[in-house]
Amino acid sequence: MDGRGSLKNKVVEVKNLTKKFRDLVAVDHVSFQVDKGEFLVILGPSGSGKSTLLMMIAGFIHPDEGEIYIEGELVNDKPPYERNVGMVFQSLALFPHMTVYENVAFPLKMRRLDPSVIDGKVKEILEIVRLSGLEDRKIHELSGGQRQRVALARTLVFKPSILLLDEPFGALDRKLREEMQVEMRKLHDELNATSLLVTHDQREALVLADEIMVIKDGRIEQKGLKREVYFKPRTTFVASFMGLTNVLNGYLWGDEKGPYVEISDKVKVRVPPMRKGGGMVHLAIKAQDVILSRVGEPTPGVENNIFEGTIVGEVFEGPDIIYEVALTDGLTLKAVTASISPLNLKVGDKVYVTLDPSRMTVLEE
Ligand SMILES: Nc1ncnc2c1ncn2[C@@H]1O[C@H](COP(=O)(O)OP(=O)(O)O)[C@@H](O)[C@H]1O
Ligand SMILES: [Mg+2]
């Protein structure tokens, strides 16, 4: 065994996958793999190519270039039903005139399994997704969350090599969506499934994923363990997509104490030690890492990364308040504090802003 790679079992591998719609490149030479038992979430804004990518893996769209392997086998020319993939669409695509039982039994009937085998499998999976007792209900007699579970059960029942999920919780209200996300992850673990889900919702990606792959304009921006992508974004796009983040532009300088970024005449921000020596850079600082206080301790200035500012905006979000803080020269930062904070800041208040070099990322693009 020569390291981790050889121990892993690739369930899906795509190489240079490309799809064009006329002159629009929807998916642009994308290569990645999903390992057995892994939950990979593809995160990207609307129109970034997520559905096209998933539909190619499922076999509903034929790629212009590249290869798709499932369990080691090249499947480019195989129809969807010969790929052993399970797909859940945002629309769910359930059969409205059939009962819960009939919907879930459908893929097994298509595979011509023995009726007694079908019955056992359907009952087992309905138990797992907590739908037992609702076998005879029609789809229109179910709540949104229950329909969601039928769609999952119908896909899980034939034990596909991989579960492909295209924004499956998009139609649910927020509370239900958050419950289903937690349930989905539990289900994935219980069944030791391999899952690939696409979403535009960074929170959903963080809740569900082992690894996150961020895509933009059909290309991979970054792929890695979710904490890595969250705490160590590699591009400004990833940084801004992974939650409320300030991106400041400036010139990188160094002095005897180390590197700093000159954002404006008065705002020079000390940054963590790095290899790069100079040039224009972007500084990504999460809103919750912009620390506000009433008095500067010890004193403002580049030595301590403490800056004077004024609160110019406030959004109350329940547990949190998002403040907009003006430093100088039209330069503002977003800062999140707990709404129960004793600071009790109001628009117009003078504050000090502390930026911890260990909580920021210097980016070149
Ligand atoms: N059948 C199609 N014909 C033409 N353009 C399409 C078609 N399907 C998708 N597109 C375009 O390809 C891009 C990617 O679409 P899609 O994969 O649906 O993105 P996402 O799922 O990330 O929102 C979009 O610009 C979309 O308009
Ligand atoms: Mg889509």
Domain boundary among 182, 212, 237: 237
Closest atom of ligand 1 to 54 CA is 17
Mutate to test the pocket of ligand 1, among 52, 87, 216 (most ligand atoms within 8 A of CB): 52
What average pLDDT does the structure give for the chain? 91
Question: What distance in angstroms lies between residue 175's CA and the mean position of ligand 2's atoms?
Answer: 22
* Same-domain check for residues 267 and 190: no
The torsion defined by the Cα of 302, 289, 212 and 188, in degrees rounded to 10, comes to 160
pLDDT in tens, 105-158: 998 998 889 999 999 999 999 998 889 999 999 999 998 889 989 999 999 998
What is the number of domains present in the chain?
Answer: 2
Residue 62 reports pLDDT greater than 80 = yes
Q: How far is CA 188 from CA 89, 114, 184, in A?
A: 17, 27, 6
* Mean pLDDT along residues 295-300: 62
User: Same domain, yes or no, for 151 and 34?
Assistant: yes
Q: Which of 41-45, 58-62, 263-267 has the lowest mean pLDDT?
A: 263-267
Q: State in Å: Cα 238 to ligand 2 middle.
A: 19
- At 225, which helix (H) or strand (E)? strand 219-225
CATH number where 357 lies: 2.40.50.140
Give the residue from 237, 270, 302 where a domain finishes. 237
**Interatomic CA distance for residues 141 and 334, integer angstroms:** 46
Segment 220-244 mean pLDDT: 96
- If asked whether residues 134 and 187 sit together in one domain, one would say yes
For residue 43, give the ligand nearest its CA: 1
Q: Which atom of ligand 1 is nearest to the CA of 166?
A: 21
Is the pLDDT at 96 greater than 80, yes or no? Answer: yes
Q: Are residues 323 and 225 in the same domain?
A: no
Q: What's the whole-number mean pLDDT along residues 211-220?
A: 98
- pLDDT beyond 80 at 277: no
Residue 49 CB neighbours (<10 A): 24
Which of 21, 41, 48 gets mutated to test ligand 1 (max ligand atoms within 8 A of its CB)?
21
Mean pLDDT of 171-176: 86
Q: What's the pLDDT band for 3 if we cut at 50, 70, 90?
A: very low
The per-residue pLDDT for 296 is 61
pLDDT band (50, 70, 90) for residue 275: confident
What is the percentage of the chain residues whose pLDDT exceeds 90?
75
Residues 41-54 have pLDDT tens digits of 999 999 999 999 99
- Pocket of ligand 1, beta carbon within 6 A: 21, 24, 26, 44, 46-52
